[in-house]
Structure 1
Amino acid sequence: MKVSLGPLLYCWPKESVIEFYQSVAQSNIPLVYLGEVICSRRRELKFSDYMALANMLRESGKEVVISTLALLEAPSEYTEIKKQVDNGEFIIEANDMGAVQAAKELNLPFVCGPTVNNYNLASLKKLQEWGMQRFVMPVELSKNWLSHVLSEETPAFEVEVFGHGFLPLALSARCFTARHKGLTKDKCQTICIENPAGLLAQTQESQPLLRLNGIQTQSAACIDLSPELASMTQMGIDYFRVSPSSMESVSLADKLLEKQSNLIISDAASCNGYWHQEAGFNKV
């Protein structure tokens, strides 16, 4: 099983993003996703900047995938997605069915991201007919679900599991980060750049509950499925995804590649409940 690095889900200054991917280029990570997934108002990097980073990573020997928005809210965003799909160089990760449709119309292959609701083999087969080459399992599904799908027949597509990072749980037309700061979404000042790993939300008992990332809601705890590496390999899973939240995510992915899962720190802030058919914030 290989290790992939998912797209950066947070709003970072352009210089920090470039520094991050320069570090990725020096790593042993074979598969890298990059692109704006959360909000089109995040304009630190333009599409041309992402393409330049993609070419730099490809020259360093990486397989590169361009990730698209997970929630389309305007015709202009669909126009931008069609440009991303038809980039002429790199496959895309479709995080919304609009991106799937754009790839299908152009007869181009794609990766189906974890925010597309795929819950049975029939839907996966249909997507594979349309050009899907790899399927990233939605984070709320379990090991048993995936085992059942893989046991029905050998799939004609690769399988990737979101194995480490803050879980993407939901998207909304509203921006919770802007509202928390007393701003409207249309005049948000890209305030989410002040929270490079999201904004932690707690219960009234001061227990960590969720993480606000613009219009996205994430888990407060970090999923850590690194102890499952051996069983995942036996199941036939192709990729273990690390979702980056800091510069340290690169070295973490490298350690996983070395199969030194004992070096991954699993503490009280980690979770794995969904994988075991339990509440997502549980740690089994």
Structure 2
Amino acid sequence: MTDARTPALSLGPVYYLWDGPKWRDFYFRIADEAPVEHVTLGETVCSKRQHFTEPHVAEVVERLEAAGKTVTLSTLAMVTLERESRHVRDLIGDSDHPVEANDLSALGLVKDKAHSIGPLVNVYNAVTAKVLAARGAENICLPPELPMSSIERILQEMPGFSFEIFAFGRMPLAISARCAHARSKGLSKDNCQFICGQEPDGLPLKTLDRQSFLVLNGVQTMSNSCVVLLDELAALKSAGIARVRLSPQDCDMVAVAVLYRAVLDGQMESEEAIRRLTGIYPGAEFSNGFFHQREGAAWIARGRNAAMGHG
């Protein structure tokens, strides 16, 4: 266990479409091997995907809790249909677990109930955070595009409140009622044939001059680069961040969690962790630009002011 001054490690929901057995086995391994304390799970991106994971939710929650993890259930990031609205109402009304709201439409339902706020809700200042806390939010995962100066200001104005930072994974940038992923394969959203399952880490997009740009994930648009805030953990810890969130990618997330835990606990230098991470997630381009008030795809090496690469 970590002491009160050391941030807890958390795992966000899987944003991609993984088949049911892969999704289940991923969380089983997280339960058994990963040094994370909080796990948020559930379909966040597209309600059509629930068919794959719902049969396994109960056993996954049981396995995680048996391993001592705290479980939170995620709401959808965009609610456009009555069945989606009904699902969110049922999730919040029937669940014995805390819920993470990832869309403002859920706020009226979670009021006065134990809940958290996900990174897809735009919390850019302390005024917004205070309103959400007054309505019952117990934890807020700040959006990944916030710079450190804004994070520090929010934490200073709300000492003691539990804030979480998005510290690993492709950034969730936008969500749409249309599915560009299906369209790119000549399919429609209504007849998508779950084509997004062919890219378990998203579909990379390139500009006309063949530069990596974004990643499509069903109706979601994500950054091509992977946020890596290993160098920044010491500053975040000093500022008072309560949780550090890892967003699942199609790589060895247990190994990723081990690296982040080691750096948080002072058992490994961040430079060494970054070096090892390149082997765990080969081919991924790392970024931390937003944190340093630069373009999000920039990679800023510790102790330097210049961008060292782009994602």
Which runs of structure 1 show a deviation greater than 6 angstroms over 4 or more consecutive aligned residues? none
- Deviation string 1:27-72 (CA, Å, 9 cap, x unpaired) is 2211111100000111343545323311221111101111111111
Q: For residue 272 of structure 1, what is the aligned residue in structure 2? A: 288
TM-fit CA distance, 1:253: 0.8
Aligned equivalents of 2:98, 2:55: Cα separation in 1: 16
- Deviation string 1:138-170 (CA, Å, 9 cap, x unpaired) is 111111001112223415x30100001000001
Q: Look up the SS of the partner of 2:225 in the other structure.
A: strand
| Aligned-partner residue type, residue 116 of structure 1 | V
Q: Do structure 1's residue 79 and structure 2's residue 58 form an aligned pair?
A: no
| Aligned-partner residue type, residue 249 of structure 2 | S
Any stretches of 5+ residues in structure 1 without a counterpart? none
Q: For residue 99 of structure 2, what is the aligned residue in structure 1? A: 92
Superposed, 1:29-178 pairs within 5 Å as 29-47=36-54, 49-104=56-111, 107-155=112-160, 157-178=161-182
| Aligned-partner residue type, residue 39 of structure 1 | C
Q: Look up the SS of the partner of 2:209 in the other structure.
A: coil
TM-score, length-scaled by structure 1: 0.94
- Give the direction of change, closer, same or farther, for the CA distance of 1:165–1:250 in structure 2 (3 Å limit): same
Aligned equivalents of 1:2, 1:43: Cα separation in 2: 28
Aligned equivalents of 1:44, 1:88: Cα separation in 2: 18
Aligned equivalents of 1:176, 1:249: Cα separation in 2: 27
TM-fit CA distance, 1:247: 4.3
- Deviation string 1:151-206 (CA, Å, 9 cap, x unpaired) is 23415x30100001000001111101100010010111111111100000011121
TM-fit CA distance, 1:75: 2.0
Q: For residue 236 of structure 1, what is the aligned residue in structure 2? A: 240
- Deviation string 1:223-253 (CA, Å, 9 cap, x unpaired) is 1001111111000001111111124012211
Superposed, 1:7-46 pairs within 5 Å as 7-27=13-33, 28-46=35-53
Q: Look up the SS of the partner of 1:51 in the other structure.
A: helix
2:262 corresponds, among 254, 258, 261, to 258
- Count of residues in correspondence between the two structures: 281
Q: Do structure 1's residue 180 and structure 2's residue 184 form an aligned pair?
A: yes
| Aligned-partner residue type, residue 273 of structure 2 | L
Q: Is the 8 A contact 1:168 1:218 kept in 2?
A: yes
- Give the direction of change, closer, same or farther, for the CA distance of 1:44–1:74 in structure 2 (3 Å limit): closer
Q: Percent identity?
A: 35
Q: Is the 8 A contact 1:4 1:32 kept in 2?
A: yes
Q: Is the 8 A contact 1:8 1:243 kept in 2?
A: yes
Q: Look up the SS of the partner of 2:47 in the other structure.
A: coil
Aligned equivalents of 1:60, 1:153: Cα separation in 2: 32
Deviates more, 1:42-51 or 1:162-171: 42-51
TM-fit CA distance, 1:254: 2.0
Deviates more, 1:44-53 or 1:111-120: 44-53
- Deviation string 1:89-109 (CA, Å, 9 cap, x unpaired) is 2101100011222111xx311
Question: Could you say which structure has the greater relative contact order, defined with CA pairs below 8 angstroms and 6 or more residues apart?
Answer: 1
Q: Is the 8 A contact 2:226 2:284 kept in 1?
A: no
| Aligned-partner residue type, residue 181 of structure 1 | K
Aligned equivalents of 2:62, 2:192: Cα separation in 1: 32
Q: Is the 8 A contact 2:173 2:220 kept in 1?
A: yes
Q: For residue 194 of structure 2, what is the aligned residue in structure 1? A: 190
| Aligned-partner residue type, residue 122 of structure 1 | V
Q: For residue 3 of structure 1, what is the aligned residue in structure 2? A: 9
Aligned equivalents of 2:145, 2:154: Cα separation in 1: 15
Aligned equivalents of 1:231, 1:150: Cα separation in 2: 12
2:219 corresponds, among 215, 218, 228, to 215
